[in-house]
Amino acid sequence: MKCVACKEPMIVVEHESIELDYCDNCSGVWFDTGEIELLMETMGLESAGLDSLHLASEAKSSEEVRKCPVCNKKMKKVALGHEPVLLVDVCPQEDGLWFDSGEVGQLVAHLSAQIEGKEDSQERVIEFLGEVIKIRQ
């Protein structure tokens, strides 16, 4: 599979039934449908509706339009969180989600901040991702 952002080949990393498609060039991450929810569940975090992002309204953005690596359709930008807003690329056909470098860590921080006593889960997710894909922040 080619990277959505830089078109370089991505590597597949698997750990505890969670498969990530990772671009070693730009540090972007592709999650097929259901994989981000599985990651959050494994780490004890709520997925906060990530499974229905394809239904969300498209956010206005000056970021480059990207195409889904599975179906090749134009993905839409969906805004998550507040200050800073996280823009996630979402396949309209529900094939998956694209996160630019560092955005998965931002999402985890946002979700765990909403749940009292979940700092341990945030640390576990970031540690997992850091070990597996060496997130650059």
Give the other-Cβ count within 10 Å of 17's Cβ: 9
Query: What global pTM score does this model have?
Result: 0.81
pLDDT value for 120: 60
Residue 4 lies in a domain: no
Residue numbers of the domain that contains 119: 11-133
Residue 3 lies in a domain: no
Residue 116 lies in a domain: yes
Structure token pair of residue 23? 């671009």
Report the percent of the chain where pLDDT is more than 90: 36
Structure token pair of residue 58? 């498209």
Q: What share of the chain is helix, strand, coil (3-state, %, to 5)?
A: 30, 25, 45
25 backbone φψ class: left, alpha, beta (φ>0; ψ -120 to 50): alpha
Residue 42 lies in a domain: yes
The domain tally of the chain equals 1
State how far the Cα of 71 lies from the Cα of 59, in Å rounded to an integer.
21
Ranking 12-21, 47-56, 123-132 by mean pLDDT, the lowest is 123-132
Decide which of 36 and 15 is more confident. Answer: 36
Q: Looking at the predicted structure, is the pLDDT value of residue 52 above 50? A: yes
Report the percent of the chain where pLDDT is more than 70: 75
DSSP-derived secondary structure for 9-56: BPEEEEETTEEEEE-TTT--EEEETTHHHHHHHHTT---TTGGGGGGS
Residue 15 lies in a domain: yes
Residue 61 lies in a domain: yes
pLDDT value for 136: 43
pLDDT in tens, 112-132: 666 555 556 556 665 666 555
